Amino acid sequence: MKAVLIDRITNGENISISEVLVPEVKPGWVLVKVKAFGINHSEKLLRLNEIRADYIKKPVIPGIECVGVVENPSDSTLKKGQTVAALMGGMGRSFNGSYAEYALLPAKTVFPIKSTLSWEELGAVPETYFTAWGSLFECLHLNKDDTLLIRGATCALGYAAIQIANALGCRVVATTHKQSKIHLLSEAHEVIIDNGRLTDGVHGVTKALDLVGPRNLKDTLKAVEKGGIVCQTGLLGGVYTLNGFDPIKDIPNGVYLTGFFSNYPTKETISEIFNFIEKHNLNPKYGKAFSFDDIRSAVIAQDNGGVDGKIVVTL
């Protein structure tokens, strides 16, 4: 089968397709014929840095998510030919991921789905919509009466979160750090240019999804009303941890801080997401689809930031 393998720091220019054996099925694992997958910031972090870490299996086929059909269900309850989504749980790091024609995946990371969406649209869903969903509902307890602030909204996760919150009936305030990208946030009720300090510029925010991360987190905590919740999910600001964080002074009285990590998807949640998409007639957002033979261009586009929204690859 065709697959992308990496064993060292690899930028987009150095991505190439190799021929490798289709993996052999084993108990507890499911062989999936990959039909589409999304490209994620997490894979960029792997390619450009984390690949050096001891816990990464090398060479590794990257890719933390995919959609496809079951080629061999092994001893799982899945059926050959069934449409599935798979994500996380070590995919593309401790075992081979989705940048390939076939992926051998632990049965617990492979979820049956029912949908009439195209493969391109389906490819944009698993990781991005699962993360948006978990952040908005498990962490922020979002409801229709909320005003949701999305900080760093011009990313795949931001566009998905706007779409879900709108479908729910919330008021959405979205930020971008670039004047030139305001038009991409037209589905939000209000767009704010983020200069690193929102405190005086937003009012009435009851829930905040922070995708910029620790670089601005203290300011986000000050931008919500008393009783509000902030969910720290993204790291777009390039700062990953917060040294010198003083919970007593940095979390305003009566404001709540939570964080979301997408490593633990469940069958129930994946099914709820697809039911919600169908019920609200949503077309999952993606920026551009590339064919697998052109995966180098897809990864270069990620490195250059040349696509607004999720990059999807189809096979």
Ligand X SMILES: NC(=O)c1ccc[n+]([C@@H]2O[C@H](COP(=O)([O-])OP(=O)(O)OC[C@H]3O[C@@H](n4cnc5c(N)ncnc54)[C@H](OP(=O)(O)O)[C@@H]3O)[C@@H](O)[C@H]2O)c1
Contact residues for ligand X, defined by CB under 6 A: 40-42, 127-128, 131, 152, 154-157, 176-178, 181, 211-212, 233-237, 260-262, 305
What is the smallest separation between the CB atom of 85 and ligand X, expressed in angstroms?
15
What is the smallest separation between the CB atom of 211 and ligand X, expressed in angstroms?
5
Separation between Cα atoms, residue 133 and residue 164, nearest integer Å = 8
State which residue, 254 or 306, has the beta carbon closest to ligand X.
306
Separation between Cα atoms, residue 142 and residue 165, nearest integer Å = 8
One-letter-per-residue 3-state SS of 68-102: EEEEECCCCCCCCCCEEEEECCCECCCECCCCECE
State which residue, 30 or 184, has the beta carbon closest to ligand X.
184
State which residue, 42 or 76, has the beta carbon closest to ligand X.
42
What is the smallest separation between the CB atom of 41 and ligand X, expressed in angstroms?
4
Separation between Cα atoms, residue 163 and residue 284, nearest integer Å = 8
What is the smallest separation between the CB atom of 219 and ligand X, expressed in angstroms?
12
Strand partners, 175: 192
Separation between Cα atoms, residue 25 and residue 28, nearest integer Å = 9
State which residue, 260 or 274, has the beta carbon closest to ligand X.
260
Tokens of 20: 């490798």
State which residue, 68 or 152, has the beta carbon closest to ligand X.
152
Using CA atoms, how far residue 62 sits from 32, 44, 51, 174, 291, in Å, is 15, 10, 10, 31, 16
State which residue, 147 or 262, has the beta carbon closest to ligand X.
262
What is the smallest separation between the CB atom of 176 and ligand X, expressed in angstroms?
6
Cα dihedral 85→91→92→98 (10° resolution): -20
State which residue, 12 or 152, has the beta carbon closest to ligand X.
152
Strand partners, 34: 68
What is the smallest separation between the CB atom of 49 and ligand X, expressed in angstroms?
12
Strand partners, 71: none
What is the smallest separation between the CB atom of 74 and ligand X, expressed in angstroms?
28
State which residue, 66 or 212, has the beta carbon closest to ligand X.
212
What is the smallest separation between the CB atom of 45 and ligand X, expressed in angstroms?
7
For 86, residues 6+ apart whose C-beta sits below 8 A from its C-beta are 32, 65, 66, 67, 68, 98, 103, 105, 109, 110, 111, 126
> How many CB atoms neighbour CB 172 within 10 A?
24
Nearest to 140 by CA among 258, 254, 227: 258
